[in-house]
Amino acid sequence: MSTTATLAAAAATASTPRTSVPAFRARKRQEPLVMLTAYTARMAELLDPHCDALLVGDSLAQTIYGLPSTVPVTLDMMIAHGAAVVRGSRRALIVVDMPFGSYEESPEQAFRSAARVMKETGAGAVKLEGGQSMAPTVAYLSARGIPVMGHVGLTPQAVNILGGYGARGRGEAEYARIAADAAAVADAGAFSLVIEGVVEPLAASITDAVACPTIGIGASARCDGQVLVVDDMLGMFDRTARFVKRYDDLAGRIQQAAQGYATEVKARTFPDSAHLYGVPGGA
């Protein structure tokens, strides 16, 4: 049986039910929600026991494809990785990012794109960026059976307008606008709200004001949960944002392992007898 089939079979027979959108939403002001990004079946399998939700983020642009921003990501890319993460997981709610250009034109366009994501991946929800301007789309999708996680504050898909990835909400006008964005998306029916890269008092204020759980990333410990890009958390990149805490140096350990392998290959000490097949009829 292939690895993919093994993962799919394990997921299908798992005794623990997958976290539902209503169960996730009900965690407001309870034990903090844990979310990490995942892009592959194997990573999803490893993270799943520890996470309430796995986000198939369009951050795969940088982490998987080496792209300079999330803007070039396509819907097909998100669907391929979303399906892989669903296959590799058992209990976490799977949320798939809607990529730039797949939902902004109209609520109808957003529905067509989101319906593809839900049908072709098996995910439980989609996530889209934007505030007051996207509230009608959030309401349109929610009314048609597509759960939506919102995303306000620093919205990476709008980097060309924002002019960079700096923290948002430092000025009074922007502070008020982001607070209004959060309220609009929550009132439109978002079951949860990612707050990214904002000043701490703003994130705390939004968390107190909205009825749905907030998920912080560079926001506040008072948010109802937290999310990080898994590659950043594992130390796969030399440079990360200020809000990232590295829980490992996986890049360093991979380099050490590759160096050890290369040394043994050059010395002809790998493979040795333990890694070779014997001659038929021999010992």
Domain definitions of the chain by residue range: 3-251
Non-local (6+) Cβ contacts of 162 within 8 A are: 154, 155, 168
**What Cα–Cα distance (Å) separates residue 260 from each residue in 130, 235, 254, 255, 274?**
47, 20, 10, 9, 17
Please check if 58 is assigned to a binding site.
Answer: yes
Tell whether omega for the bond before 271 is within 30 degrees of 0, i.e. cis: yes
pLDDT of residue 144: 98
CB neighbourhood size of 274 (10 A): 6
200 carries an active-site annotation: no
d(CA 120, CA 38): 17
pLDDT at 253 over 60: yes
For residues 69 and 161, give the distance between their C-alpha atoms in angstroms, rounded to a whole number: 13
Cα separation, 102 vs 71, in Å, equals 11
Q: Which of 36-40, 68-72, 251-255 is predicted with the least confidence, judged by mean pLDDT?
A: 68-72
List pLDDT tens digits, range 82-131: 999 999 999 999 999 999 999 999 999 999 999 999 999 999 999 999 99
Residue 59 assigned to a binding site: yes
β-pairing, 214-217 vs 192-196, is parallel
pLDDT value at 159 more than 80: no
Q: Residue 1's pLDDT is what?
A: 46
Exposure of 134 by Cβ count < 10 A (0-12 exposed, 13-18 middle, 19+ buried)?
buried
97 marked ligand binding residue: yes
In one-letter notation, the amino acid at residue 110 is A
Contacts of 97 (CB under 8 A, 6+ apart): 55, 56, 57, 58, 59, 73, 78, 126, 127, 128
Amino acid at 81: H
- Burial tier of 266 (Cβ tally within 10 Å: 0-12, 13-18, 19+): exposed
Instruction: Average the pLDDT over 139-164 and give the result.
Output: 88
Helix (H, G, I), strand (E, B) or coil at 100: coil
Percentage of the chain lying above the pLDDT 70 cut: 91
The predicted structure's pLDDT at residue 80: 98
CA distance 99 to 84: 17
Active-site position among 45, 174, 196, 264: 196
Say which residue the tokens 């669903």 belong to. 86
Structure confidence at residue 131 (pLDDT): 97
Give residue-wise pLDDT tens across range 213-229: 999 999 999 999 999 99
Write the single-letter amino acid at 97: D
Instruction: Report the pLDDT value the prediction gives residue 162, as an integer from 0 to 100.
Output: 67
Task: Say if strands 148-153 and 93-97 run parallel, antiparallel, or are unpaired.
Answer: unpaired
Higher pLDDT, 236 or 242: 236
Asked if 28 and 211 touch (Cβ cutoff 8 Å), the reply is yes
pLDDT tens-digit series, residues 21-47: 999 999 999 999 999 999 999 999 999
Average pLDDT over every residue of 185-211: 97
- Percent of the chain at pLDDT > 90 equals 85
Quick check: 174 and 133 in contact, CB under 8 A?
Answer: no
DSSP structure class, residue 130: B
Least confident of 47-56, 68-77, 143-152, 160-169: 160-169
CA distances (Å), origin 161, targets 139, 165, 195: 25, 11, 18
Helices (H), the chain: 3-12, 21-25, 41-47, 60-63, 75-88, 107-121, 135-143, 159-162, 172-187, 200-209, 230-233, 250-266
pLDDT at 278: 86
Residue 261: DSSP 8-state: H
Q: What is the mean pLDDT of the chain?
A: 93
**Given a cut of 70, is residue 164 above it in pLDDT?**
no
Q: Which CATH number fits domain 3-251: 3.10.20.30, 3.40.605.10, 3.20.20.60, 3.30.930.10?
A: 3.20.20.60
